[in-house]
Amino acid sequence: MDQKKYFTASYLALFLVATIFLTTSSCDRDLEDPAGPSLIDRFADFESVDTLTASQNTVDFAAGGTVFFRAAFNKSVDWILRIEGMQSGAVKVIEGFDLRLDESNATWNGTATTPPLFRDEECMVTLSIPEEPSYGDTLMITSLSQRPLPTNFLVTDFESDPGANIILGNFEFKLVLAETGRRSDFPAVVGDFYYILTGNPNPDFNPFFLGLVDIKSSIAGNPYMQLPQASPSQIYFNWFMWHDASPHAMASVQIAVDSNDSGDFEDGQDAIFSSENNLMLMHTGWRHYSFTMADLGMTSDDVEKIVAIRIVLLSDHDNQPTPPLQVRFAVDYLTFTIGQPLSF
């Protein structure tokens, strides 16, 4: 082999080696999980590997405590963890699709999926798997305290006597006063008290309107609600509403603005903002509602002069039987939040 050809062969060999090296070594495969769904998840029979346990038997949510739950299966499944307060009836539901429950996917900080809020009470924890109807696991834990809700812009939780800050409007004497007012007959969302309105519709005289309650902003300490500068679309008004699923009850929640700058709420003179549609109440128990100030058509100037919250009890007269049925609802924990609805 002459020298020229020898060098040529060497270059070619070097080129070949370099090409193979560059092609293969410069692109290491980043192999992650196996391709496709797990065969075990897809085809294996379900088995419970570890039973349901809790990280602790008691938890103090008011002190920021949390509790997490553990369980393990042989395959990933859709599981549902349901926590129910034995006194309050509050319910928290945690759902997931996994092989196991642990701190990453089954931690509870005292919040509720369905109001009211949990309080100091026994809680029953139930783990179920819809695809495996025969499977179920249960345990009890104790909630030592209620998880605190934000109180920065709280209007009222009815826990203290409102005095003259609440005006009951029973103009047509259709409210059942014995069943109207601040009460604690069933669990409130927060604390013990709520405010209930009960009315008997009169088909002969304004059959829709039954009565109302005006809650002045002064109940929170100032003539106007002290809200931060924010767009009306970012200011939420939240309330919890209880209903017993009896038909034909409707509600209207309205915001009163001190349009005559008197510094006090004056019915008939101040502007009232309300949503276009009344709430048709069909649910049972407590439910959370919210709207923004922008939803009511309020401006930033209006927001600065919120002087009262008005809650009206209405009857769905068009669908009422004869004689009409009594209607009622209760409200609790009226508060403003900024940026998002109340998280509970």
Partner 1 sequence: MNIQIKILVLLGVCAILMAPQSYGQDGSALPTPKEEDKDAGVRFNGLGRTILRNTEIDGPVLEADPETIRRQVDGEFLLDLQINAQPNDKTEVQSILRLRNEFGGFFGAGMSVEVRELWARGIIGNAIKYHVGDMDIAMTPYTFYNFEEEGFVNNPAALEAQREVIYYEQFYGNGNTRRVQGTKLDFGLNFTHVLRDADFSAFIARVRGTDFFTIPSRYTSGGHMKFRTRNISDSLGMRADFGFNFVHTFDDLRSGEANTGIRNSIATFNWDFRLYQDRNTTVSLLGETGRSSLTETHDTLRTALFSIDDYFMDAGFKVAFREQKITVQGSYVDIGPDFFSIAAQSRRIDLQNERSFYDRLGPDQQRRRMSIFDLNRDNLMYTFELSDRLMPYDPRFSNTMPYGLATPNRRGARFGAEYGGSEDLVEARLDAAFMSEILGQGTEELKNFTLLRAAANLNAHQLLDFENKLRFTFGYQFENTQRGGVPVEQIDLMSNMVELGVEIELFKGFEVLVGGKYLQAEGNEYVPQIDRFNVVRNFPEGYEADDREQLLAVGLKYNFNPRAYLTMQYHNFQSRRGENNPIDYNLDQIFVIYNMLF
Which positions lie near partner 1, rule CB under 8 A? Answer: 1, 5-6, 8-9, 12-13, 16, 19-20, 23-24, 27, 29, 31, 34-40, 42-44
* Nearest distance in Å: CB 12, partner 1: 5
Beta pairing, strands 181-183 & 91-101: unpaired
* Nearest distance in Å: CB 39, partner 1: 4
Phi, psi of 299 (to 5 degrees): -100, 175
Residue whose CB is less far from partner 1, 4 or 134: 4
* Nearest distance in Å: CB 19, partner 1: 5
Let me know: does 147 contact 118? Beta carbons within 8 Å: yes
CA-nearest of 155, 156, 308, 304 to 228 is 304
- Please return the burial class of 55, using the count of CB atoms within 10 Å of its CB with bins 0-12, 13-18 and 19+: middle
* Nearest distance in Å: CB 99, partner 1: 13
Residue whose CB is less far from partner 1, 13 or 93: 13
Residue whose CB is less far from partner 1, 38 or 104: 38
Residue whose CB is less far from partner 1, 37 or 203: 37
* Nearest distance in Å: CB 48, partner 1: 16
Say how far residue 46 (Cα) sits from the centre of its chain.
Answer: 33
Residue whose CB is less far from partner 1, 37 or 263: 37
- Extract the tokens encoding 1: 């082999």
Spell out the residues 6+ positions from residue 130 whose beta carbon is closer than 8 angstroms to its own.
78, 80
Q: How many CA atoms lie within 13 A of 234 on its CB side?
A: 8
